[in-house]
Copies of this chain bind each other. A is one copy, B any other.
Amino acid sequence: MSAPILSDRDLEFMLYELFDAEGMTSRERYQDHSRETFDAAIATGKTVAERYFLPIRQRVDIEQPIFDGEKAITIPEIKTAIEAVFDSGLANPGASFELGGMQLPAIVASASTAYLSAAGSATLGYASLTNANCNLLETYGSQEQIDKWVVPQREGRFAGTMALTEPGAGSGLADLTTSAVPADDGSYRITGNKIYISGGDHEITENIVHLVLAKIKGAPAGVHGISLFIVPKYMVNDDGSVGERNDVSLAGLFHKMGGRGHTSCALSFGEKGGAVGYLVGEAHKGLHYMFHMMNEARIMVGTSAALTGLTGYQYSLYYAKERPQGRLPSCKDPLSKPVNIIEHADVRRMLLAQKAYAEGGFALCLYGAQLADDSHTAPTEEERSKAYQLLDFLTPVLKSWPSEYGPRANNLAIQVLGGHGYTSEYPVEMFYRDNRLNPIHEGTYGIQSLDLLGRKVPQNKMAGYRACIEAMRATVIDTAGSAELAEFSADLAAAIDEVDSTTMALMTAMGTENIDLVLANSVKYLEMIGNVIVAWVWLRQAAVAVAALTAGPHAQDEAFYRGKLQAAQYFFRFDLPEIYVWSKILATLDDTTYAMDKEWF
């Protein structure tokens, strides 16, 4: 088998046809760039993925990290792969030229690491969490902290983590018990236990910079009493050299269903009296700061879920084109040659669904990357502010929709391979296991739905929500007159109306009804709006395809664009209509789950 990691053509389509990545070069920050430099970065990502990630794709799953009683040991090829990421500038492809970076627009940065994530999301995790850690510190840390902790992370000498979860406080951060006591030198002594810390220990880098949520003694109760601390694995001397071990120890490794290349650690802070920690920003504002990293991580999770879906799609597509089996129902001649399974309509259904889910999810995440960029580099303050509002509103969807539909795609990839897909001889069962983490970490599916309906929709007088509806309606208007798109355009228009009336009913109910009941079906709200937004993303892709077909592409591209149209049709006919089941449940404030007494189970 030599299935491609991703489709080059599709990535090209997304960047340059669906989203106008080349247009970013008109902005000052990106004026030295061109399509050529963008393509070069993407080609580098592909090369590193093929050379360092693909060969160990299944090994990192089979040869899990080992806890030797003191430290976590990973296979050495992970270190080599991570070094290659740093050496090629892909650890932070958006970093400024002055910091030695490529200063790529976010959407191109995302594309440049797409092959890495698709070929080894667990391995890439060491680099991407490090990047997110730095991004937080660059925003909220002092210059001294940046010099001491960010610079070596940017160089790949240190790695970064985020340490939130505790044994007694997973999703419920208000109840975390890790404590911080001020020391005489202005630092703090941290004591407590954290679990599920990705990259919490390893020997890949010289040092690890943990960003730890803890409560300073006497802090207010709840989430408004949480502070953020830098807690290094090793102390760092004033000359930047790595010093003694801090009071942070590895208590154990978790054995996970998937994502096994990335260590998941239980860490003990302060068993010998208190780990040295340095307060980031102001006291009690830690959760707010951490959201900077969490929001970035959430988009990362969605992107990774979509990419794992995409690579499974490519793998099962390649398999389906090569594997002979059975005959069509219309064939009655047992002496005829078996057909390749892609000839079976149901196999095509499973491939088309994967295409619809994974390409739809990835396009959604690239749109998110574009919004993130726009919020910083769009020409006007109004555009920047609008992009920020839209991104903020969409974050739970960017995180959750691909996390639900990426695994669905991977599930179908297994099914395309049949019995083979169930064995570790083929990677598709690993893709599914890897992807199953995504609806859990960085805020579960349920938490995201509460964030969306309970906070993101109503906030700022529904400005983010309204911007989203407005953007979708603009596409409806643009496409209504096209013969090829009229069906989709009308279906999307009706779906948007349904979302809008459902949303308004829920917002009214929030003021008049029991809030627990109003939010009881929040997951269905997330599913409804997610499917409508992805339908919109598909309509935009279909519109590009129709324009290209009308202009008359050459033969090979015609097939590509027809595929886009067919995948859009699949999503509109097979998936979008489900929203009407959910909108009814939502609009009627269905109390089936709310009223279910715990004794009735």
Contact = CB atoms under 8 A, between A and B. Distances in A.
A598 to B, nearest CB: 5
Interface in A61-84: none
Interface string A567-599: 001100110011011001100001011111111
Contact of A352 (B171, B422, B593): B593
Contact of A423 (B255, B515, B573, B574): B255
Given A223-B334, A419-B441, A329 B170 contact: no
Interface string A514-536: 11110111110000000000000
A418 B171 contact: yes
A520 B592 contact: no
A222 interface: yes
Contacts of A415: 439-440, 444-446
Interface string A555-569: 000011011001001
A23 interface: no
Contacts of A429: 257, 436
A329 B581 contact: no
Nearest to A560: B600
A449 B346 contact: yes
Nearest to A254: B423
Contacts of A418: 170-171, 440, 444
Interface residues of A, number: 103
Contacts of A520: 345-346, 349
Interface stretch (A241-249, A281-289, A336-344, A389-397): A336-344
Interface string A432-444: 1100110111001
B256 A422 contact: yes
A554 B165 CA distance: 44
A168 B340 CA distance: 12
Contacts of A349: 520-521, 523, 593
Interface stretch (A181-189, A228-236, A319-327): A319-327
Nearest to A593: B349
A596 B563 CA distance: 7
B423 A257 contact: yes
A556 to B, nearest CB: 9
Given A329-B454, A598-B321, A600-B562, A345 B593 contact: yes
How many monomers of this protein are in the complex? 2
A400 B532 CA distance: 30
A414 interface: yes
Interface string A417-428: 011011111000
A504 interface: no
B257 A352 contact: no
15 contacts: A174-B334, A175-B325, A220-B334, A221-B335, A317-B601, A329-B450, A330-B514, A344-B446, A346-B449, A351-B596, A415-B446, A566-B592, A566-B596, A574-B585, A574-B592
Contacts of A437: 422
Given A171-B326, A347-B446, A355-B601, 5 more contacts: A169-B325, A172-B327, A175-B325, A257-B429, A566-B592
B440 A419 contact: yes
A177 to B, nearest CB: 12
B222 A334 contact: yes
A10 B423 CA distance: 35
A538 interface: no
A338 B422 contact: no
A329 B515 contact: yes
Given A346-B523, A578-B581, A592-B352, A338 B449 contact: no
A454 B162 CA distance: 55
Contacts of A223: 334
A169 B60 CA distance: 32
A328 interface: yes
Interface string A385-418: 0000000000000000000000000010011001
B425 A255 contact: yes
A269 interface: no
